[in-house]
Amino acid sequence: MDLKARHAKELRFRMYGLVAITLGLLCVLALFSSVLAAGLPAFKQTFIQLQLDLPAAKLDKTGTRDPEKMKKVSTIGYSKVIRDQLQQNLKDAGIDFSKLDKKQLKNMISKEAPAQLRYAVLENPSLLDRPFDFEVLANGRIDGYYKGRVTFETAALDVMISPDQLVLADAMKAAGLLKTRFNGQFFYWPDASDLRPEAAGLGVALLGSLYMVIIVFVLAVPLSVCTAVFLEEFAPKNWFTDLIEINISNLAAVPSIVFGILGLSLFINFMDLPQSAPIVGGLCLTLMTLPTVIIAARAAIKAVPPSIKSAALGLGASRVQAVFHHVLPSAAPGILTGTILGLAQALGETAPLLLIGMVAFVREYPSLSPDGIFDPSTALPVQIYNWTVRGDPAFVERASGAIIVLLCFMITMNALAIILRRRVEKRW
C-alpha cells in the first residue's frame, strides 16, 4: 500500500470517528432538550392570592383557641370557608363569576388548599378573626393552562375544568389574585394523591435517596477497599482466589433486578426487615455496588508502580506498612473515582427498589434520627416511575422535573469524581 492510499484510509477513519461522535452528541442533545422542555414547567406553579378573614365561630367553636379542640374541624369545614372567602375576594375585585356554580368555583382551588389552611391555623390560632394574606395552590388544570398543557379546546372536553373557569382565571390574573412563580415546594413537599398533582413534591424521595446513599457509602466502600487490597496484595494466587475474582466480575454484570430479588428473599422474607424502608434499599444497593467498586479499587491498586512498594520494603517497612502507608494512598484517586461512580449508579437504580416495595405511596417523611432508615420511604428514581404511570399529564410534567433533578445529581457526582481525581492523582 502506497503512502497516499494509507493517508486516505486514515482520513476516512478519522471522518468515521467524527461522524460517530457528532451523531452521539446530537442524540444526547435531543434527549436533554426533550427532558428540559417537558420538565422545566415543573419548577413553576400557579398560586391564588387570597385575603382571608376566617370566622372563629366556625373553626373554633369552643372559643378557647386550643389547637387540640380545633382539630375537630376537618378539612371539609376549611374547604367551605375557602370557597366563601374566594367569592368575597372576587366581589371585592369586581370580577364577575356568575357563570360558575359553587362547585366549579371551589374546584378552581387545589384540594390541598384546605389542608394547608388548616395546618396554618392549628399552628397559629391567632389567625382567626383578623384579615391576613394567604397563598393557596391553584387547581392542576388551571396551572396547566398557564403552562400550555390545557387550552380552551381541551377544557371543553374535560370534566375537570371548563372554558368559563379559564376565563375567570385570566380575570383573576389580571387583578393580581393569581400568579405563576418558581415552585420551591417541589423540592420539599411529599407526594400527593392522583387528585392533587399540583401538590406533589420530591421531599420524601430525596430524603429516602439520601439515606440509601449514606448506607451504601458506609457499607460498600470499606468492604470493597478491604476486599481489593486483600485480593491484590495478600491473597495467595490459587484456584480459590481465581474463583472469587471470576465471581466478582460476573456479579458486576448481573442485572440489577436480580439484586432486588435477593434483597426481597434475604432482607425482607428471611431477616424480617420492613418493606419500603431505606435500610433494605441501602442493603440491596450495597450488594449491587460492591463488585463495581471492588473492580475499580483493584485497577487503581494495580496502576501503582511496583517500585513504590519495593522501595518501602527495601527501607525496612513491613508488607502491611508498605501497602497501607504507600500503595493505598497512591491508589486513592482511582478508588475515590470508582466509589463516586458506584454511588451515582446506586442513586439511579429503580428495579431493585421496586421489588422490595418502595413503589408504595408514602406521604409521611421518614424520621431524621437514625431510626429513620427503618421508616417507610421512597427513592427518587422510584418516584419518577410512580408519576409516569399516573394518568394526569401534570404528573408526567412532575416526573420530567424529577428526572432533571436526578440528572443534576448524576452530573454533579461525575464531575466531582473527575475533579477529585485530577486534584489528588499522581503521575508516574
pTM above 0.85, yes or no: yes
3-state secondary structure of 179: strand
- Residue-wise pLDDT tens digits, 135-146: 999 999 999 999
1 grid coordinates:
500500500
Question: Do 165 and 143 meet the contact criterion of CB atoms below 8 Å apart?
Answer: no
* Dist CA 114 CA 82 (whole Å): 7
Question: Do 211 and 192 meet the contact criterion of CB atoms below 8 Å apart?
Answer: no
* Dist CA 414 CA 402 (whole Å): 18
CB-based contacts of 82, cutoff 8 Å, min separation 6: 50, 106, 109, 113, 114, 117, 136
Residue 404: pLDDT over 90: yes
Question: Element (H or E) spanning 90, and its range?
Answer: helix 75-92
Question: Do 155 and 329 meet the contact criterion of CB atoms below 8 Å apart?
Answer: no
- Residue-wise pLDDT tens digits, 229-271: 999 888 888 888 888 888 998 888 888 888 989 888 989 988 8
What are the residue ranges spanned by the domains of the chain?
46-182, 203-424
Looking at domain 203-424, which of 3.40.50.300, 1.10.260.40, 1.10.3720.10, 3.40.50.720 is its CATH number? Answer: 1.10.3720.10
DSSP tag of 266: I
Backbone angles phi, psi at 174, to 5 degrees: -65, -30
Can you name the residues that pair with 51 across neighbouring β-strands? Answer: 133
Give the closest residue to 260 by CA, choosing from 281, 277, 237, 230: 281
Torsion, Cα of 137, 139, 143, 145 (10° steps): -160
* Dist CA 361 CA 194 (whole Å): 11
Provide the terminal-to-terminal Cα distance of the chain, rounded to the nearest Å: 38
Backbone angles phi, psi at 271, to 5 degrees: -85, -10
Average pLDDT of the segment spanning 405-426:
81
369 grid coordinates:
434520627
Residue type, 306: P
Average pLDDT of the segment spanning 398-403:
93
Number of H helices, E strands in the chain: 19, 3
Residue 428: pLDDT over 60: no
3-state secondary structure of 345: helix
Question: Do 336 and 420 meet the contact criterion of CB atoms below 8 Å apart?
Answer: yes
- Residue-wise pLDDT tens digits, 295-334: 999 998 988 888 888 888 888 888 888 888 888 888 888 8
* Percentage of residues in the chain having pLDDT higher than 70: 99
* Percentage of residues in the chain having pLDDT higher than 90: 33
Highest mean pLDDT: which of 56-60, 294-298, 360-364? Answer: 294-298
Average pLDDT of the segment spanning 349-365:
83
Average pLDDT of the segment spanning 13-27:
92
* Dist CA 179 CA 47 (whole Å): 6
Average pLDDT of the segment spanning 82-106:
89
Q: Residue 282, exposed/middle/buried by CB under 10 A (0-12, 13-18, 19+)?
A: buried
- Residue-wise pLDDT tens digits, 69-85: 888 888 888 888 888 88
Burial 148-171 (b: 16+ CB within 10 A, else e): ebbeeeebeeeeebbeebbbbbeb
Q: What is the mean pLDDT of the chain?
A: 88
Average pLDDT of the segment spanning 108-124:
90
| Helix 278-302 with 239-252: angle, nearest 10 deg | 120
